[in-house]
Amino acid sequence: MEVIRHHVAGEATGSTERTGPVFDPATGEQRAEVTFASSAEVDAVIATAVEAQRAWAATGLVRRADVLFRMRQLLVERADELAAVITSEHGKVIADAKGEISRGIENVEFASGLVNLLKGEHATQVASGVDVHTLKQPVGVVGAITPFNFPVMVPLWMAASAIACGNAVILKPSEKDPSSAVFLARLWEEAGLPAGVLNVVHGDKEAVDAILDSPQVGAVSFVGSTPIARSIYERAAGNGKRVQALGGAKNHMIVMPDADLDGAADAAVSAAYGSAGERCMAISVLVAVGAETADALVAKVTERIGNLRIGPGTDPASEMGPLITREHREKVASYVTGAPAEGATVVVDGTVQEFDGDGYFIGVSLVDHVKPGMKVYSDEIFGPVLSVVRVDSYDEAVALVNANSFANGTAIFTRDGGTARRFELDIQVGMVGINVPLPVPIGAFSFGGWKQSLFGDSHIYGPESIHFYTRSKVVTTRWPLPSESQIDLGFPSNH
């Protein structure tokens, strides 16, 4: 059986004393084993990264940009091959895997402008003969701890900016689908990135803790569930590191009575069930304003659900693949089967849909008359379950969203420009869509939520990532003439 090893300084390394299984979610069969790093192994990799980072930080910006441009081209050329790797371990359909790669490429393109992004500021003659300028310098070695649901896009969210800024990266991907990270590491090196600047370490909590505790790691980026994000933030910040830890979500889509209900139903189905709901920007709550709106939406969504094609991600006819593990499938199903006891109505029960083989497939579910306090509403299900909450007014809808502890993304569907503009200002959520169900910012903007969806001050990728992966230094200079030298014990003044 294939053993997936760490990728360090261009080489496959790692002891096989501790390993974890890697499954094909479409068949339920184990396809490989992945090595789990000990804390000592992680420390050795970090030491390698420290040495590589020194030389990379001294590399000219144009040379760094050349590497990023070549990486972008390689991702385009190898997209089919990389998508197949994603699907084999995650299960998502090929089209979705290619979409993930495309969004990752956006971030490489943004980071390719590093010559402009890393420019400092300069002020001349702030006082007599005194100038001030700023420098942006790399943090050093940074940790990137990434989730299973986007095994290519999220590593590129982190690594592209970190590498552009002159850092070295320790990438710890999910142990559930680790091969994509190794594939990316090899592409980076083929693009000309020096060995050791990006290293892949596989593992469990022991490996993560070693990254969080190492004094040689200056910053940590994380994407995952809220409880883990909070834990990562507290431990890494307690060790004096910069941290951006993105957590969970419960994204609401408000539909006003004046909306195009067919368009809204299409958007809800796409945003709720795409990638089997395993994405932090999935719409999991449909907020219908008015009883007529709710009844019409439930009917239209139900009609569309019946036409969805669920099957292996490798089948071009499939629109949705399996969930990541058997255990996760059972957990998702429990929210649907438990909803009636809480007073909700299961309109479409995807848990009873039957599939051939032993894959981790589940049908899509639609649950109506959901209310706050129910588990199906409160928890991040991370599966193809769409809840419908009925409200009487715009104000009630906004209050519902703002009361939620998660604040990652939200959307409103309306034809009224005044309502849309008011929504932008009223809503307390980090990413907002107006007639856009998945408001994931393009690479030139930054991604991140509020409240329990983000721990730390910086959003990920885009302009905020340049700030996160660099330290600013302010330099004040004066070149006095010999005749101007004098002793002055007073506090420096700019007058």
User: Cβ of 70: how many Cβ atoms within 10 Å?
Assistant: 18
Q: Are 61 and 113 in contact (CB under 8 A)?
A: no
Residue 144: beta bridge partners?
A: 171, 221
From the candidates 82, 139, 184, 280, give the one annotated as an active-site residue. Answer: 280
User: Cβ of 22: how many Cβ atoms within 10 Å?
Assistant: 22
Rounded to whole angstroms, how far apart are CA atoms 68 and 72? 6
Lookup: tokens for 48? 């390698």
- Domains of the chain, earliest start first: 2-247+453-475 (3.40.605.10), 251-434 (3.40.309.10)
Q: What does the pLDDT look like over 329-355, one tens digit per residue?
A: 999 999 999 999 999 999 999 999 999
Rounded to whole angstroms, how far apart are CA atoms 237 and 117? 26
Maximal C-alpha separation, the chain: 90
- The residue behind tokens 């804390």 is 39
Mapping DSSP to helix (H, G, I), strand (E, B) and coil, where does residue 151 land?
coil
Provide φ and ψ at 133, rounded to 5°. -140, 160
Print pLDDT tens along the chain (495 aa).
899 999 999 999 988 899 999 999 999 999 999 999 999 999 999 999 999 999 999 999 999 999 999 999 999 999 999 999 999 999 999 999 999 999 999 999 999 999 999 999 999 999 988 999 999 999 999 999 999 999 999 999 999 999 999 999 999 999 999 999 999 999 999 999 999 999 999 999 999 999 999 999 999 999 999 999 999 999 999 999 999 999 999 999 999 999 999 999 999 999 999 999 999 999 999 999 999 999 999 999 999 999 999 999 999 999 999 999 999 999 999 999 999 999 999 999 999 999 999 999 999 999 999 999 999 999 999 999 999 999 999 999 999 999 999 999 999 999 999 999 999 999 999 999 999 999 999 999 999 999 999 999 899 999 999 999 999 999 999 988 776 666 777 766 665
Q: Cα separations (Å) of 492 from 125, 133, 481?
A: 15, 17, 18
User: Cβ of 367: how many Cβ atoms within 10 Å?
Assistant: 26
Q: Which of 378, 261, 286, 382 lies closest to 327, judged by CA?
A: 382
Which pLDDT score is estimated for 495? 56
The DSSP symbol for 280 reads T
User: Cβ of 132: how many Cβ atoms within 10 Å?
Assistant: 16
Q: To 10 degrees, what angle do helices 61-77 and 179-190 make?
A: 130
Q: Cα separations (Å) of 490 from 38, 411, 487, 493, 495?
A: 55, 57, 9, 8, 13
Residue 345: beta bridge partners?
A: 368
Q: To 10 degrees, what angle do helices 61-77 and 79-90 make?
A: 70
Q: What does the pLDDT look like over 259-316, one tens digit per residue?
A: 999 999 999 999 999 999 999 999 999 999 999 999 999 999 999 999 999 999 999 9
Rounded to whole angstroms, how far apart are CA atoms 100 and 84? 12
Q: Are 218 and 53 in contact (CB under 8 A)?
A: no
Query: What's the order of all strands across the beta sheet hosting 251-255?
Result: 345-348, 365-368, 385-391, 283-289, 251-255, 409-413, 431-434
- Catalytic status, residue 165: no
